[in-house]
Amino acid sequence: MDPKSVKVGVVGAGNMGAGIAQKYATEGFNTVVVDVDQAAVDRGQARIKQTLDEGVARKIFTPEKRDDILSRLTFSADKDALKGAALVVEAVFEDLGVKTALFKDLDARLGPDTILGTNTSSFFVDDLAKACAHPERVVGLHYFYHPAKNRLVEVIKGTATSQHAFDTAWKIQELCGKTPVDSLDRPGFIVNRFFVPWLNESMRLVEEGVATIATVEWACKQSFGVGMGPFELMNVTGVPITLHAATTLGKELGAFYAPCDLIRPVVDAKKNWDLSGTADTSKLEVVAERLWGVVWQVACQLVFDEKVCTLEDCDLGARVGLRWPKGPFEVMNERGTRAGLWAVQSIAARYPDVNVPAVLVEHGEKNRPFAIKLVAHRVDSDGVGVITFQRPDAMNALNEAVTAQLGAAFDALAANPACKGIVIEGKGKAFVAGADTKFFVEQIEGKDIPRIVRFASDGQDIFGRIDRSPKPVVCKLHGLSLGGGSELALACDWIVATPRGSLGFPETGIGIYPGLGGTQRSARRVGVPLARWLVLTGETVDATTGHKVGLVDDVVTANELDAACRARALSGKTRAENAPPTVAPAGFEAAWAAFSWTSLYDLMKGFANAGAALDKSIKKAAFKAPLAMQAADELIKLAATTTLAEGLAAETKGLKAIFSSKDAYEGLSTLGVRRPNYRGQ
């Protein structure tokens, strides 16, 4: 599915509808926006134009990019303009009668191949599907504010929703740059189910005189790690919206979810909450325990009692949709499930209609953490094993837990006789965006360099098992791959990518060198000169360029990606260890020549005579860390004269020295903050 050839529609040009449409157009979809009359359409068009202009002013977009986005948007007051759309998303006022009438109209007006999505946050998908002659094409797509910026979307399969409609809607969300999570058709779906009670309990704390608004705001920022507390959030998104959401949940789920009376006078007066005052810091624990208790109770009920979603999607929803640093289960594991049990028992004692989920009792009494699957695996009916990284909000970055789970998942598939070949993929916009640099910084500051070396050594071992597997292993490269992610890709037998896929080795720019096989496997794939070009400049190459130089094996469309990966996995063919190529690929003769003969000193001083086409790439070398550059260059050249095993051992051997350098700490600690100042120390 190529976004440029797909038409989508949005009905409703208000804040949500305009934002949804803007996101689709930004990601390349031809987008039609429809509203009830021309005045509403014009307001929606102006709203999108203003948002994009603000993006230009903030240098998020170039004027050319803004104009390109606008060129893909069509505005109309005629619903017939939606004909031919693959997906039409409804984003009108939360009124069941209005929505039902709209779906009945769209169902009659649009061909049966058009999927109808509802952005409702209050009603069941089934209630809207009943209005349609083709209920199988109705799916829930609950976006979060602001939908042009917030990546979360809850995808809800109604009772009648076909698997085709659900899968297609899901795929479109991924192509749109969203992070989809799978929810049953239940009140509040996933995130609102625990977020609205969080807001409600915050108000009850004030109503009961336990804490002031200012205290609750401060305590939430401290305990939940959020930038805005619950009352400020309600002010920003609209206090009446909270009242509406709590009222709806209360009708469906009981008194615990019903709105706190404190909110009604504020809504009636059309005011915002008064955030003034000084926080009482002595109330931190009482506020935190009460609010976390509510969240943990609802989360456990959602996941284990009602099975609305997986534990991982519950946490992901909190991190992406609410921008909480950590999800409910991750926090409970850190603080101890025994503490979680006590907090929920306290909530249950306060509210008659709240129970203590049995699974929490089981874990809490033994203080046993919940298992969180950061890496999932399965074997499909055709014999293809699939390993999926499930940290899209962290770009699937590698850390100790992720790497260990990758090893366990791979070993399970390698030992499973039903598995004939393996595909490794990542959720979201990235395959794997390298290692978690925060982990490196923490260990350097804690003077535990050996832990970094163990992490890298363990990663090397796992990548080695992948490399040596008699079963074909395929990297499914649909997006960004950096550092350790690119090293994992190279450990696979085959790299199958879409044009959006990319690979890069940025390590020398952050004071270190590729330590998971990047200096060795890159040289064996593309030759020592082009490996020097990639690693020493940190140049990121798209999949098409990667295919030309030999990094990538197949480049296919997004529609063809799954089938192409499966074909490679079931081919029975693996890639044998090979010596570095000695001839330049067509079109890369200049790069081959420049990086064959130019010394590291000349590269870092900008003295390389490589021609205009490579000038920009060469200049990048001047800003890299000298020690890392020297180590990386020596290791790459070593690939021409040693076995892979010897080269990998040399990579690992040098890690202690490179991570002990001042340059490593400078590069890693300043990442995303400022340009590092390397001293070669």
Residue 550 backbone zone (phi > 0: left; psi -120 to 50: alpha; other: beta): left
- Spatial distance between the Cα atoms of 247 and 584, rounded to a whole number of angstroms: 68
Which one is catalytic: 119, 134, 142, 217?
142
Task: Look at the block and give the residue holding tokens 């001083």.
Answer: 605
Which one is catalytic: 154, 174, 217, 330?
154
**Alpha carbon distance, N-terminus to C-terminus of the chain:** 49
Of 430, 629, 634, which is closest to residue 510 (Cα–Cα)?
629
Question: Side-chain half-sphere of 612: how many Cα atoms within 13 Å?
Answer: 0
- Spatial distance between the Cα atoms of 90 and 98, rounded to a whole number of angstroms: 11
144 and 119 Cβ atoms separated by less than 8 Å: no
One-letter identity of residue 336:
G
DSSP 389: E
Of 294, 299, 331, which is closest to residue 313 (Cα–Cα)?
299
Of 342, 420, 332, 327, which is closest to residue 374 (Cα–Cα)?
327
476 and 431 Cβ atoms separated by less than 8 Å: yes
Q: Is 121 one of the catalytic residues? A: yes
Find the helix packing angle between 191-207 and 239-253, rounded to 10°. Answer: 110
3-state secondary structure string, 437-503? Answer: HHHHHHHHHCCCHHHHHHHHHHHHHHHHHHHHCCCCEEEEECCEEECHHHHHHHHCCEEEECCCCEE
**153 beta partners:** 143, 180
Q: Give the list of residues 6+ apart from residue 167 with CB closer than 8 angstroms, or none.
A: none
Which one is catalytic: 121, 122, 200, 457?
121
Q: Is 5 one of the catalytic residues? A: no
**7 beta partners:** 30
**117 beta partners:** 89, 139
Angle at 309 between CA 304 and CA 312, to 5 degrees: 90
Which one is catalytic: 192, 481, 502, 617?
192
Q: Is 142 one of the catalytic residues? A: yes
- Spatial distance between the Cα atoms of 51 and 14, rounded to a whole number of angstroms: 13
Q: Is 669 one of the catalytic residues? A: no
Question: Helix H segments across 502-578?
Answer: 518-526, 528-537, 543-549, 558-569
Beta strands 7-11; 87-90: pairing state: parallel
- Spatial distance between the Cα atoms of 116 and 133, rounded to a whole number of angstroms: 12
Q: Which residues are catalytic?
A: 121, 142, 154, 192
